[in-house]
């Protein structure tokens, strides 16, 4: 009598923010002997945005790279769905694990749900309550379809409960991206980052990519003016994504001599640069979390955040382009500091907790 194949898990990653979250989960499941398949949709296809992460984080090479590339939200999501449907039918995984809030995440969740394959969502329950953000729509849809919802902060549990998600589906496990940060602390070399970029003395890092900040010429121009005001006080280093480079260049970003625009960096190089900085200006959710753990002041150029724990337990504060320079001044003066309280369960063991829940789920 032949034995049925061992249950297996299929992970779907697609963009830079997914990889630091997936690495601890894949590693922990591997330690428990779980059969796994890793799919990279290729939503981010630049080597610095994807391939370098597999090398630096010790991730196994993807079993499949779909190579979907860029496109509008609808075209990109549709292409991922089409490619994944064929794969899911062939593989018939026992569980599909998705990460974060990118288009690949919602695409995989939709396909799996229609094929009646269970879905686990790592980083569930985050809400900005701003549906003009494509990521917010992706979060809501993914969470409504997921069978296992892994949350990084207590407020996420509250959001899911208020949306009617059954309590036995929700698991507060902590933040796997922080697992990756803590595991690589010794590799984040601020001195090497300074030397490579010729930086002497204090500097600020800026990283901006959200459509609301970079796609509208008037908004981009207003942000550039604010960054010039920051650069009047201290040098600014900006790793620019391709989507933001054109609009910021058109608005005169590089006209200020104290602003240094560079290409996107690998994970280790970027966090090293952040670790040595006076402060970070960002619109990225992940950077809000990383700066919280590194005790680096974070100025989030957004009207809202889906990660309020980085404000209540971290170094983050929401700013506008109009008060950005003044908020930075308070950091330079030393009047705005963190209380040093770490968010609960951000202890480097979230991946292990996630893996334990998944193993129990598969056993059922």
Catalytic residue numbers? Answer: 209
Evaluate whether 38 touches 59 at the Cβ level (below 8 Å). Answer: yes
User: Distance of CA 90 to CAs 160, 216, 286, 299, Å?
Assistant: 32, 43, 34, 46
Tell me the chain's radius of gyration from C-alpha atoms: 20
Question: How far, in Å, CA of 14 to CA of 81, rounded?
Answer: 12
Sole residue written with tokens 């695409």: 107
- What angle is formed at CA 256 by the lines to CA 255 and CA 262, rounded to 5 degrees? 85
Evaluate whether 119 touches 113 at the Cβ level (below 8 Å). Answer: yes
Evaluate whether 20 touches 57 at the Cβ level (below 8 Å). Answer: yes
Question: How far, in Å, CA of 338 to CA of 334, rounded?
Answer: 10
Residues 6+ apart with CB under 8 A from 302: 210, 212, 213, 283, 318
Question: How far, in Å, CA of 203 to CA of 322, rounded?
Answer: 20
Question: How far, in Å, CA of 271 to CA of 277, rounded?
Answer: 10
């Amino acid at each position: 009598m032949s034995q049925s194949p061992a249950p297996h898990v299929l992970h779907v990653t697609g963009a830079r923010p997914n990889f630091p979250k997936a690495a601890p989960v894949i590693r922990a499941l591997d330690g428990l002997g779980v059969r796994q398949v890793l799919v990279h949709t290729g939503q981010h296809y630049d080597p610095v945005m994807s391939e370098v992460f597999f090398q630096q984080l010790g991730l196994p090479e993807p079993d499949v790279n779909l190579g979907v590339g860029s496109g509008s939200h609808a075209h990109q999501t549709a292409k991922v769905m089409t490619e994944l449907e064929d794969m899911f039918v062939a593989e018939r995984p026992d569980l599909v694990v998705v990460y974060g809030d990118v288009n690949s995440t919602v695409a995989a969740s939709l396909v799996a749900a229609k094929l009646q394959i269970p879905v686990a969502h790592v980083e569930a329950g985050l809400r900005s309550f701003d549906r003009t953000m494509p990521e917010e729509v992706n979060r809501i849809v993914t969470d409504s379809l997921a069978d296992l919802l892994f949350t990084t902060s207590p407020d996420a549990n509250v959001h899911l409960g208020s949306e009617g998600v059954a309590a036995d589906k929700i698991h507060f496990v902590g933040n796997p991206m922080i697992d990756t940060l803590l595991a690589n602390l010794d590799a984040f070399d601020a001195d090497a980052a300074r030397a490579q970029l010729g930086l002497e003395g204090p500097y600020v890092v800026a990283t901006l990519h959200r459509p609301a900040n970079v796609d509208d010429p008037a908004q981009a121009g207003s942000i550039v003016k604010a960054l010039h005001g920051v650069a009047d006080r201290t040098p600014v280093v900006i790793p620019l994504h391709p989507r933001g480079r054109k609009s910021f260049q058109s608005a005169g970003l590089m006209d200020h001599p104290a602003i240094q625009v560079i290409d996107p960096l690998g994970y280790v190089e970027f966090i090293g640069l952040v670790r040595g900085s006076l402060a970070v200006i960002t619109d990225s959710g992940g950077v809000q979390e990383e700066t919280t753990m590194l005790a680096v002041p974070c100025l989030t150029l957004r009207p809202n955040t889906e990660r309020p724990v980085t404000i209540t337990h971290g170094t983050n504060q929401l700013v506008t382009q109009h008060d950005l320079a003044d908020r930075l001044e308070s950091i330079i003066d030393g009047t705005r500091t963190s209380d040093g309280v770490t968010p609960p369960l951000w202890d480097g063991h979230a991946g292990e907790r996630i893996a334990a829940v998944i193993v129990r789920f598969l056993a059922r």
